[in-house]
Structures are given as structure tokens and as C-alpha cells.
Amino acid sequence: MNVLAALVAFIFAALGASLSTEGIFRPDELLPGAMLSLVASGALYVAARCPRTATAVAIGCEAAACAAGYLPTPLLLAPLIGCLYRLTVHLGPRPAAWWTGFAVSAVILGGATSDANPTGGSLLLRTVGVALWLLPAVFAGRMTHAYLRMVQTRAEEAERKRDDDVRRRVSEERLRIARDLHDVVAHHLAVANAQAGTAAHLLAKHPEQVRELLAGLGSSTSAALRELKATVGLLRDPGDDSSAGTTPAPGLDQLPELIEACRAAGIDVSVASDGTPRPLPPLVELTAFRIVQEALTNVTRHAVRPVVTICLAYEEDTFSARVVNTSARPGPAGTEGYGLIGMRERALTVGGSVQAGPAGHDQYAVSLTIPLAPWQEHQVPR
């Protein structure tokens, strides 16, 4: 591209060197102009790499040509026009303004020192005409410079946005994994701890019941290992065959198993439903299951005599779940563990909300509400 531009500029400049106010120069008078045009065109060839040096050389050649009596036509000034355009594109409008002023002054002074006796039209061409030929190149270069800056700015913004999106997705994935690990490990270990404590208490007086508790303890730890394996499997590479066959995400259909595990740990759990139970979107069911699971985990940790009521309400455009512990133990004021934070974060991911707090005398309630309207078009029977 640079070679083609330099070649075209040389052809134009050579044609311009052949013109004079009297018509066409004689062949013996064309050689100096052609040589100066060749040097100026060579400067245009390297203008992309050295815009200042190339422009200075082109200015010198054009000023010398005008001093030799050649007319500063747009053809003769073609190499200088190209150099000024390149300089404006690379350096911007402010440096280009100084270089353009210097170029116009040098070419006009070169023409003024020539031996030619310009007429009125020739004088106008040697003065005002020089500025008229050079300024459009600067304006075009300025527009190109602004366009390239805009493209570069947009590319940088797109790259920053892409990096921000990657960091956000990584952060969200880490948060999701942390919630899953907390829900799986905390719940099953809390249930196992309650079963082990109950077994130790009954060992002396009711040893026959200890066998059942130990069997439940094994079930709790096995369930914890299965869910932990499923969660860790999500971290594997999708192409890894060892990640195949992981346990699907739990839903409300697994709530009876969760309740049985809690009952085996000595928690009195009752369930009530309002409305007609129906399949919900998988993400909604997973969220509801995990929040109920975490609420039961908190009961296992903090209740004195665990008695829990779970109420599930299926309305046309809303699903809600309420877990009430009727024998709550007062906790330190102003404390909130990762469990409640995780429940609220989970609810927000599906557009829902969680309220947790005292609900009367020695009662503590966790209430989940999820609007179903945004999910209606995604609801499919399972």
C-alpha cells in the first residue's frame, strides 16, 4: 500500500513538474523537478514509520521545486499532501497544525525566491493556492485520526467489559459453589451431629434405639458424600468422562427424604401444603429445597426441643415456603451467619426474597417467597 501511494504521488508530481505558466517545460528543464518529486515520493513511502522526518523531507523538496520555478499545483504537491495526511493520522491535529503552517510558509517562501515573474493568477496560485491544496489533507487526516481513536476506545471498552464479565462470572460461580458446599456439608453434618449426640445420650438407658440412630447416621454421611461428589463434579472439565453421571440437582420431590433424615436425628417435623402441588421450574425447586434444608440445619443447631412446621403454598403466580421452629433458642443479638446470607442470595437469583426472624414466643421463622410469573413460559411438566 505504501509503495502504491508513493508511485501514484510520483506520477502526479512528475506531471505537475512539467507545467509552467507558459505551458509545458522543455525536457531539459524537467529533470530537477522529477528528481525532487522522486525524493518527496520516497519520503511518502516511509511516512507511516517516520511521519515527522518524511514530512520535513517532503517540505524541503517542494520548497526547492518552487524556488526552481515550478508551479505549486496540487499535482506537484501530491507527495507533501500525502505526508501531511499520514502525519495527522499518526500524531493528531495539534502537531499537524504546526507542520501544516510550516509547510505552507516554506513553499510560499520558496516560490517567492524563484526567478519567475508571476502574473496575477500565478501569484495567487503560489500563495493562497498552496494553503488550499494542503489544508484538505490535514482535515481528512484529522477525521481518520478521530475515527481510529474512536475504534480503539471502543475496542478497549469492549475488552474491559469482557474482562469484567469474566471476573463477575467467576465470582458468581465461586459464590454458587460456596453456597452449595455450605448447604451440603452444613446440613448433613448437623444432622449427623444430632444423631451422634442422641445416640450417646441413649446408649446407657436405651441401647436398643442406638442401632437405629447409628443406621441413620450412616445414611446422613452417605447422603453428604453423594451430594458433595455431585457438587465437586460440576468443577470438572465438561469433556472429562469422570464427571458424567453426577447426581441431578435436588428438588421439592426430595423433601420427604430430607424430612426423614431430620426425624431420625430427633427433630419433630410436620409438613402442610396450601394449594395444589405442581412441578416448578428446576431452578426454583432447587432454591426452595436448599433454603428449607438450611432452615432445618439451623433448627438442628439452635433448637432446644426441635419441633418444626413446614408450610408450602402453591398460588397461581407465587410459591412460598415457611419453616417455623416452635422451640427456638435465643441467639446473640446482631449476629447473622453465612447460612442466612446464603439463603437470601439464593432467593435473589430467582427473583425471590427471604425473611428470617422471631415469629412469636420462642418461635423462629424463615419465609421464602418466589414470584412465578417470570418463569411461566419456562415451566414444563416433568
Angstrom distance (rounded) from CA 255 to CA 94: 72
HSE of 230, CA atoms in CB hemisphere, 13 A: 15
- Sorted by sequence, the CB contacts under 8 Å of residue 122 that are 6+ apart come out as 21, 71, 116
- Per the structure block, which three cell numbers stand in for 81? 499532501
- On whether the CB atoms of residues 258 and 292 are closer than 8 A, the answer is yes
- Mean pLDDT in order along the chain per 10 residues (382 residues): 83 78 56 86 88 91 85 86 92 88 88 65 71 88 91 90 85 74 67 70 68 67 68 56 55 86 81 89 87 84 76 92 77 56 85 86 87 68 42
- Sorted by sequence, the CB contacts under 8 Å of residue 13 that are 6+ apart come out as 33, 37, 40, 41, 75, 76, 77, 78, 79
Report which DSSP code applies to 236: S
pLDDT of residue 363: 83
User: Dihedral, CA atoms, 327, 328, 330, 336, nearest 10 degrees?
Assistant: 180
DSSP string, 279-343: ---HHHHHHHHHHHHHHHHHHHHH-SS-EEEEEEEE-SSEEEEEEEETTPPP--TT---HHHHHH
- Sorted by sequence, the CB contacts under 8 Å of residue 273 that are 6+ apart come out as 311, 312, 313, 314
Tell which residue, 254, 232, 221, has the closest CA to residue 181: 232
- Cα 260 → chain centroid: 45
pLDDT of residue 238: 47
E strand or H helix at 23, and its extent? strand 23-24
pLDDT of residue 114: 72
